[in-house]
Amino acid sequence: MEGIQKDFRIQEAVRLLNGNGSFTLSELARRCHLSISRLSHLFKAETGSTVQNYRRHCRFLAAARMLETTDLSIKQVAYAVGYHHTSSFVRAFILHSGASPNNYRKRQSGPPHI
């Protein structure tokens, strides 16, 4: 049985999003030489996720990493991962993690559990 051939353009989209989740859908499509609709269709078919959900997940991981490892303000983290409004970032972060960015940071830097 032959292995499933992955579309190199979708592999590139995944690579780009893993490196920078703040790409817009149109920027991502342009960089992968696809229309937005074709990118959306192929991405879902190959990854099982929509571009938007994958992008949101990448942004969350990047934000969580920054909250855990830097002293950047919540506003700076929001801008760094592509949000233009801190309130939008906070809402999205709560939806994804169940905690506000501030509470998430406190939980991560709290005393070790014994």
| 17-66 tens-digit pLDDT | 999 888 889 999 999 999 999 999 999 999 999 999 999 999 999 999 99
Q: Does position 109 have pLDDT exceeding 60, yes or no?
A: yes
Contact residues for 82 (Cβ-Cβ < 8 A; gap 6+)? 20, 21, 22, 23, 59
Q: Does position 93 have pLDDT exceeding 90, yes or no?
A: yes
pLDDT of residue 27: 95
Question: Does residue 2 or residue 58 have the better pLDDT?
Answer: 58
Query: Could you tell me the residue ranges of all domains in the chain?
Result: 8-109
CATH superfamily of domain region 8-109: Homeodomain-like (1.10.10.60)
Could you tell me which of 10, 7, 5, 83 has the C-alpha nearest to residue 40?
10
- Tell me the mean pLDDT in the region 94-104: 95
Residue 19 CA: distances (Å) to CA of 5, 12, 14, 27, 29: 23, 11, 9, 14, 16
* Predicted model pTM: 0.81
